[in-house]
Copies of this chain bind each other. A is one copy, B any other.
Amino acid sequence: MSINNIVIIGSGNLGWNLTIALFKAGFNILQIIDKNIQSANKLASQVNSDYTDNIKNINRNADLYIISVFDAVIENVVNSIKWNNKLVVHTSGSTNISIFKKNTDNYGVIYPLQTFTKFKQINFSNIPVFIEANNKENENQLLKFISKISNIVRLASSQKRFIIHLSAIVANNFTNYLYTLTDELLKKQGISFNILEPLFKETLNKAIEIGPSKSQTGPAIRNDINIIEKHLDFLKDKQEFYNIYTLISENIINRYNSV
């Protein structure tokens, strides 16, 4: 049996983008389920599907159920349905596959490694997607299924996926936070954040090309205390920026200058 009819539970950033990608790839979206009925309705109208805000009304005829809700809520959703051994997956980086164990015999995980925003559709084909399943048969089904929307499909255990998710938080959330601090600093001088774009791009290119450890430059790796102190003096009234500057600089100094 191959997967064609799909029920989506959760129409947040990831659920939204995944649903649109599946619809465009020709899959039949049977139903969108979300407690936020406006969101369910809006997404459903884009993919010609049914929708509901009550999980008890779940459509029983799907080949695959995709749970894309906050981690803390996954278990509630899993426990609230009799799955009758239908194939069900979640999309979380840091939730173990074992969460399904007590409730069904056919389950797995589909974890797309990307940051999603509703209403900003991303081309899924270049997004790495990590698959896990409770047996070979389901694994093969999910691999085949996801290959229809992504060119980069890999298997990953729950432990491996956990570490990939942790890396993604650093890669995305933390760097974005550093962007935010920088943006605020520059704005006060009337300078556009976009002036840094070539620098950000080259930083990434270099890290990919020769590895980030060899790419490190700047006052901390030179242990240039004079410049670091000038910067800290300037940041002394910006507590959070000051603390981050201090901690990361100390770490770079220790890593590269210890004998």
Chain A residues close to B by CB (< 8 Å)? 13, 70-72, 94, 113-117, 120, 122, 126-128, 152, 154, 160, 162-164, 166-186, 189, 191, 193-204, 206-208, 210-213, 215-222, 224, 226-227, 230-231, 234-235, 240, 243-245, 247-248, 251-252, 254-255
Contacts and interface: CB of A to CB of B under 8 A. Distances in A.
B94 A199 contact: no
A61 to B, nearest CB: 33
A70 B225 CA distance: 12
26 contacts: A70-B224, A71-B219, A94-B227, A113-B196, A114-B198, A115-B202, A115-B206, A115-B217, A120-B206, A162-B230, A163-B185, A163-B189, A167-B185, A167-B196, A171-B178, A171-B200, A172-B200, A173-B221, A174-B245, A176-B203, A176-B206, A176-B215, A179-B215, A183-B211, A183-B212, A240-B255
Given A160-B189, A198-B113, A218 B173 contact: yes
7 nearest A-B pairs in the assembled complex, by CB-CB distance: A173-B218, A179-B212, A180-B212, A167-B182, A179-B207, A171-B196, A172-B203
A177 B219 CA distance: 13
Question: Chain B CB within 10 Å — which of A13, A185, A215, A221 has the most?
Answer: A215
Contacts of A226: 71-72
Q: How many copies of the shown chain assemble into the complex?
A: 2
- Interface SS majority for chain A: helix
Contact of A164 (B164, B178, B195, B200): B195
Given A180-B212, A251-B177, A204 B204 contact: yes
Contact of A204 (B13, B126, B201, B216): B201
Nearest to A217: B115
Contacts of A216: 173, 176-177, 180
Nearest to A128: B195
Contacts of A197: 204, 208
